[in-house]
Structure 1
Amino acid sequence: MNLAEHYNKLYTESIAKIANGDYETDPLIDDKTDNRFGITLVIRPDAATNHNIQQFLSEAKAIDPDQYYYQNADIHITLMSIISCYNGFSLKDIEVQDYIDMIKKVLVRHKGFRIQFKGLTASSSCILIQGFLTDTLNEIRDDLRKSFKSSDLQQSIDKRYTIQTAHSTVIRFRSELKNRTALIDLIKKYRDFDFGTFEVKQVELVYNDWYQREKFVKKLHIFSLDLN
């Protein structure tokens, strides 16, 4: 996949929809009965990159404070959704250590890598940071796919879609956009902004809600990656 072309196509189509008022809001963000949980392997950006992201988000909040903005603790890249969030999933349904052992066997075969966060793209319901990755990330993903699909462990890898990018969602639309024009102008301002490049030295296995909110996330294991 050519990531630049993919992100650009998504941006062009989605910004046109947003400009025309043809966007979607998420009715479940504030729903206290939302019970969708799963387990995910995630990557966290470093502090410097998060600082740059919050600079953009602070400007967006000034335009429309009612939307949903990710705080630093929630910003992540999905390396792999092992069990996609669904209603009623509980850690009691699985043996967590079996998942840790399986992932550990995969990750020991791979070294650390770098990700660059550069520019913004969008969907009809959210704004995303564009992540550009090395071959290593998708090699890890392919290795995980093979290992899990040959096991008896509960998993839903690739059931929703086959993940190939390294984006990070940072704004979700929770209500009517107050000033679409100003928001689009801000997105254009940051369209090619370099938010930072960071070393991926570790990967987290987490139990999480749909939005990866810190108050719901439970860290199950941290895997270290060899950078040499």
Structure 2
Amino acid sequence: MNLTEHYNQLYTTSSESIAAGNYSIDKEIKNESDSRFGITLLIRPNEEIKAKMQDFLNEIKKTEPEQYYYPDSDIHITVMSIISCSETFRLNQISPNDYIQLICKSMVDVDKITIQFKGITASSSALMIQGFPTDETLNNFRNKLRENFKSSGLQQSIDSRYTIATAHATVMRFQEKLHNPKKLIETAEIFRDYDFGEFSVKNLELVYNDWYQRKNNTKVLGEFCLR
């Protein structure tokens, strides 16, 4: 996948729709009884990059203060959604150690993952920071995870919703009617090509998480250090 083309197409389509008032509100964010949980392997950006992301969000908040903004603790890149969030899944259904061992096996050839965050994109219900792996290491690792999990017999739902190929970080979701959709897009446009920075991934986390990766609902099952 050409990530630049993918992000550009997503932004063009979504930003035009949002500015015209055609967007989706996520009604589950405020639902305290939301019981969707799953298992995710993820990467967290470093503190310097997260600070720049918050600078962007602070500008958006001036126009849309009532929307849902990700705190530093929740910002992440999904490496692989191993078990997609659902109301029927709970942690006691699996043995986390089996998953940890399989991930370790899949990481044998993973040396260094570097990701550049540059620019923003959008969907019909969210704003995202664009992430670009600097080489094929992340993509190759994902393929190895797919191969190993699908032949393992372990419970998994990899690629059941969509085949993950990006390295974006969702940072804002629409939870209320927008005050000024056109102004929101005008502000976002300022950051369309903004350089949020580049970082080398130090470790990955396997987590049991809710739909929004909220820290209070997240349990770290394992951490994996890169060389």
| TM-score after normalising by structure 1 | 0.98
Report the CA distance between 1:147 and its aligned residue.
Answer: 0.1
How many angstroms apart in 2 are the aligned matches of 1:22 and 1:180? 9
What per-residue deviation string (whole Å, max 9, x for no partner) do you get for residues 9-58 of structure 1? 00000001001111000000000111000000000000000000000101
* Partner residue, 1:102: 102
Q: How does 1:131-142 map to 2 (within 5 A)?
A: 131-133=131-133, 134-142=135-143
Tell me if the contact between 1:108 and 1:225 (Cα under 8 Å) persists in the aligned partners.
no
> 57-66 vs 38-47, which deviates more?
57-66
Checking the alignment, whether the CA contact within 8 Å between 2:24 and 2:174 is kept in structure 1 is yes
Counterpart residue identity of residue 80, structure 2: M
Amino acid at match of 2:153: D
Question: Given that residues 20 and 182 in structure 2 are in contact (C-alpha distance below 8 angstroms), is that contact kept between their aligned partners in structure 1?
Answer: no
Q: How many Å apart are 1:88 and its aligned residue? A: 3.0
The alignment of Structure 1 onto Structure 2 pairs a total of residues equal to 226
Give the structure 2 partner of residue 62 of structure 1: 62
For residues 159 and 90 of structure 1, the distance between their equivalents in structure 2, rounded to whole angstroms, comes to 18
* Uncovered stretches (5+) of structure 2, i.e. residues with no partner: none
Q: Which amino acid aligns with 1:141?
A: R
Contact preservation (8 Å) 2:67, 2:175? yes
Match of 1:166 in 2: 167
- The worse-fitting range, judged by mean Cα deviation, of 11-20 and 176-185 is 176-185
Distance 1:220 1:58 in 2: 32
1:199 partner letter: S
Q: Which runs of 4+ in 1 moved over 2 A?
A: none
- Please say if 1:211 is aligned against 2:212: yes
Partner residue of 2:85?
85
Helix, strand or coil at the partner of 1:215: helix
Q: Is the 8 A contact 2:3 2:132 kept in 1?
A: yes
101-110 or 25-34: bigger deviation: 101-110
Tell me the SS of whatever aligns to 2:217: coil
Give the SS at the match of 2:124: coil
| Residue aligned with 1:38, SS | strand
SS at match of 1:117: strand
Q: Distance in 1 between matches of 2:147 and 2:88?
A: 27
Asked if the contact 2:18/2:182 (under 8 Å) is kept, the reply is no
Shift of 1:63: 1.2
- Distance, in Å, in 2 between the alignment partners of 1:183 and 1:91 is 39
Which residue pairs with 1:52 in the alignment? 52
* Amino acid aligned to 2:179: K
Deviates more, 1:105-114 or 1:127-136: 105-114
RMSD: 0.7
User: Deviation of residue 64 (structure 1)?
Assistant: 1.1
Same amino acid, percent of matched pairs: 55
Whole-angstrom distance in 1 between the partners of 2:123 and 2:68: 14
Specify the code of the residue in structure 2 equivalent to 1:105: K
| Stretches of structure 1 lacking an aligned partner (at least 5 in a row) | none
1:163 deviation in Å?
0.4
The residue type paired with residue 26 of structure 1 is D
Code of the aligned partner of 2:79: L
State the distance in 2 between where 1:22 and 1:64 align: 16
Partner residue in 2 for 1:197 = 198
